[in-house]
Amino acid sequence: MPFSDWLLVGTLLALGGSWNVIRADVGSERNCSKIPPYLPSTVVNTTLRLQALREAMSSLNVSAYIIPGTDAHLSEYIAPRDARMAFMSGFTGSAGTAVVTLNKAVLWTDSRYWVQAERQMDCNWELERDVSISSITDWLIREVSDTDDIGFDPFLFSIQTYESYSYNLVPAKLMLKSLPDNLVDRVWTDRPPIPPDNLIRLPDRVVGLFNLRGNDVPFNPFFYSYTLLTLNEIWLFVHKDRVTEDLKLYLNSTCYLAHCVQLLEYDQVRTMLKNYMTRLGVKVWIGTEYTNYALYELITPEVRDAVAVIQLLMWLEKVVPEGKETEMTAAYYVNECRRWGEDTHTHACVHAHTLKQTHTLNR
């Protein structure tokens, strides 16, 4: 027997003398150019899901809907019930963004997942081999009319992400529309529930604000919650039915009245934050990278108007010496700042003002 055959036999014996049986189409990629298209067995049929989502979009006059691959806490690792991008597209990679319009569906992901996406998505979906927000917004500018709205779930956007999208869409006069309900959740009839297990307490020596853990995200000791911490009060927003009486006693064993941990339902965080901000002299500390836009957009219109006026004053200080602006252009500028008031960057107003000037010159 040749040496190569001995080597093969030795390898088989080392592996226990068995082979893994591989189906013919496992590992193959879709081919949508064939008639009929070739789809491997790993593909998910998304036709009915997309149809239902588009019906929900049409009912709200939304022409495009953005589906990030994250959750309300902007996590890298998410629970099965938050895998909305995977449900809609079939793609289960951990990085990506999906966009659905009334006639197209596109997934953006990086090079780690290009092959996986081609094996999991059906021919309803196109693959963009990029993950940058600018790539997504460039595509939206080409596909969406400036009279149409682009819908998104504010819980799935950080402030920073929202500002990046808005900054890129402003030149095309496109606006993001914050929707109160997630449209994927509307059509996901068998969406997994929140795990029913109770939260657990860890030893006091473990670092953490509450020393509590859960299993909402597989292989991670986290649970869905928000905390509002002030100088005198602390609120924990959590699914209260998972907090045992022993845990309630533990959380409030060394405090008095307002200084105790006040438990509220998880979905009450926006209402509570909005009420809290009506208090005189309140300032809220938030981070732009890891705070979702659903909380940030609660800032009152009066505050946003003040921001617009400040942006106007900053702009006037810069342009008045040039002698090119008038009362009319200043009025237009501040109105654009108010219109794009959700975007905290002055650049948004500048872009809008530049578009107005260009339009006037081209008449």
Per-residue pLDDT tens digits for 292-344 = 999 988 876 666 677 778 878 888 888 888 888 888 888 877 777 766 554 44
Q: Residue 27 pLDDT more than 60?
A: no
For residue 302, the model assigns a pLDDT of 64
Task: Give the CATH architecture of domain 47-187.
Answer: 3-Layer(aba) Sandwich (3.40)
Same fold for the domain at 47-187 and the one at 219-296? yes
Task: Give the CATH architecture of domain 219-296.
Answer: 3-Layer(aba) Sandwich (3.40)
Q: Mind listing the pLDDT tens digit for each residue in 169-193?
A: 987 889 899 998 999 999 999 999 9
For residue 316, the model assigns a pLDDT of 87
Q: Mind listing the pLDDT tens digit for each residue in 200-225?
A: 988 765 557 888 999 999 988 889 99
List the 126-128 sheet strands across, edge first: 126-128, 105-108, 97-101, 62-68, 149-152, 175-178
For residue 68, the one-letter residue type is P
DSSP state of 311: H
Between 60 and 253, the more confident residue is 60
SS3 assignment, position 106: strand
Tell me the average pLDDT of the chain: 83
Structure tokens at 253: 């064993």
Question: Strands 200-201, 212-213: parallel, antiparallel or unpaired by DSSP?
Answer: antiparallel
Helix (H) or strand (E) holding 128: strand 126-128
Mean pLDDT of 62-75: 96
Q: Which residues contact 236 (CB under 8 A, 6 or more apart)?
A: 210, 225, 226, 227, 251, 261, 262, 263, 264
Percent of the chain with pLDDT over 90: 52
Closest CA to 297 of 157, 121, 127, 149: 157
Q: Mind listing the pLDDT tens digit for each residue in 98-116?
A: 999 999 999 999 999 999 9
CA dist list (Å): 69 to 13, 76, 132, 221, 222 = 44, 8, 14, 20, 18
For residue 362, the model assigns a pLDDT of 34
Within 10 Å of residue 310's Cβ, how many Cβ atoms? 12
Q: pTM of the entire structure?
A: 0.78
List own/partner pairs for 238-242 with CB under 8 A and 24 or more apart: 238/199, 238/263, 238/264, 238/265, 238/266, 239/194, 239/265, 239/266, 240/264, 240/265, 242/196, 242/197, 242/198, 242/199, 242/214
DSSP state of 194: P
Q: Mind listing the pLDDT tens digit for each residue in 217-255?
A: 998 888 999 999 888 889 999 999 999 999 999 888 878
Between 8 and 256, the more confident residue is 256
Q: Where are the domains of the chain?
A: 47-187, 219-296, 301-361
Q: Residue 120 pLDDT more than 90?
A: yes
